[in-house]
């Protein structure tokens, strides 16, 4: 695989870098992380700027409002926006990085026309309703049920750790539509309107003091059948598409951010006098190498997905290699902020900005969720063992299938 830019890709990168320099100079300061309405306004305004400049959904189809470019341009966008210190997708995370791509791959033409352009324009925010209180990491154990009633499903149940529910317009929701079917069957993937009657959101406060997660209660909520993505009872397969995007590319920009943070931490280590410690410097070098390798793994995953799509005529969906990336990235990110705590010493005990602009402690606490979100590290190891190494399923898993 040739990792250097072609002349066309170099031109795209140059134009983007110039636009970012001008846009960043005019950008105001970010809002208080705890003020979700303000965060929504800030994040969607930035998304609108990207859209109007032609940089929203660069790899999405043109009929969905995207640029119709390839995955390489998408990676260039991620790399350059993070390098410029531009806002990340923020409140629009679920819509842009896995609900939207899932609808591109699995949605009907009507669903693509209805739901994709507002995501790219920053007009509608999505949340994720996958996890349930009694299921833990066992997503197939979900019990929220949907009963068909004419042209609607009647949905009853509850979800937990529902990302961005507090400000969301739509929810990618997993429901059980056939309670008699085996665990991984009888599930459907629905688009839930968050303003529907019977929807209640209760924010959860995390260790870092934020409310990016919430409990979601569903009391006989009516969802049109036309909001189902994929066939009825085929939701597990659609979910694997969603999770492939979430594990394979949704965290890609954060690798670039981590490399930038590591450089800033190295400068602080010099200032604080910690740089004289050879063991500590070795840890910096090891992490720098890991983040470089993770970025190359992102490129490989995207390249493999594009090649598979070209062979089959389908969409570019990351494969099992996404789990390798998710597993190692989530752990490397925790190691980065553990290292920051050692460098900063007692200053790392305070929540809020320390040193430069980084909220080191808040980021360290938030990082604990990375080895759980999008499937725990144990789940990722099982996928790698079975789908890449070809090892058999454990007996407990085969009994439950």
Torsions phi, psi of 171, nearest 5?
Answer: -135, 130
Distances (CA, A) of 207 to 161, 262, 329, 351, 374: 13, 23, 21, 10, 19
Give the residue ranges of DSSP H helices in 345-390: 360-367, 377-383
Neighbours of 144 (CB within 10 A): 21
Report, as residue numbers or ranges, the catalytic residues.
246
| Partners of 213 in the β-ladder | 204
Q: Which residues contact 357 (CB under 8 A, 6 or more apart)?
A: none
Torsions phi, psi of 137, nearest 5?
Answer: -85, 0
DSSP 199-268: EEEEEE--TTS---EEEEEEEEEEEEGGGEESSTTBHHHHHHHHHHHHHHTTTHHHHHHHHHHHHHHHHH
């Amino acid at each position: 695989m040739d990792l250097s830019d072609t002349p066309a890709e170099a031109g795209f990168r140059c134009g983007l870098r110039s636009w970012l320099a001008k846009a960043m100079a005019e950008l105001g300061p970010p809002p208080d992380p705890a003020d979700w309405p303000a965060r929504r306004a800030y994040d969607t305004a930035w998304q609108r700027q990207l859209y109007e400049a032609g940089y929203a959904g660069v790899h999405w189809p043109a009929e969905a409002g995207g640029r119709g470019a390839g995955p390489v341009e998408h990676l260039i966008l991620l790399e350059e926006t993070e390098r410029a210190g531009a806002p990340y997708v923020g409140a629009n995370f679920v819509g842009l990085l896995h609900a939207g791509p899932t609808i591109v791959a699995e949605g009907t033409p009507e669903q693509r026309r209805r739901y994709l352009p507002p995501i790219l324009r920053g007009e509608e925010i999505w949340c994720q309703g996958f996890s349930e209180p009694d299921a833990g990491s066992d997503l197939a154990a979900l019990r929220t049920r949907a009963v068909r009633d004419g042209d609607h499903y009647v949905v009853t149940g509850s979800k937990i750790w529902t990302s961005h529910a507090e400000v969301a317009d739509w929810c990618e929701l997993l429901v059980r539509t056939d309670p008699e079917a085996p665990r991984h069957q009888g599930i459907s993937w629905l688009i839930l309107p968050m303003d529907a009657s019977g929807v209640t959101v209760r924010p959860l406060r995390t260790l870092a003091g934020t409310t990016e997660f919430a409990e979601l209660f569903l009391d006989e909520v009516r969802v049109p059948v036309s909001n189902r993505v994929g066939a009825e009872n085929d939701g597990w397969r659609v979910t694997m598409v969603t999770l492939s995007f979430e594990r394979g590319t949704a965290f890609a920009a954060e690798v670039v951010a981590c490399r930038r943070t590591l450089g800033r931490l190295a400068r602080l280590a010099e200032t604080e006098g910690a740089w004289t410690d050879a063991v500590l410097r070795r840890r910096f070098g090891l992490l720098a190498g890991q983040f470089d390798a993770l970025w190359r793994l992102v490129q490989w995953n995207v390249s493999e997905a594009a090649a598979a799509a070209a062979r089959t005529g389908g969409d570019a969906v990351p494969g099992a290699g996404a789990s390798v990336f998710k597993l190692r990235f989530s752990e490397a990110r925790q190691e980065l902020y553990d290292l920051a705590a050692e460098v900063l010493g007692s200053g790392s005990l305070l929540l809020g900005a320390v040193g430069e602009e980084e909220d080191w402690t808040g980021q360290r606490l938030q990082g604990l969720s990375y080895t759980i979100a999008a499937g725990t590290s144990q789940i990722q190891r099982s996928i790698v063992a079975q789908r890449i190494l070809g090892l058999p399923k454990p007996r407990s898993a085969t009994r439950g299938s």
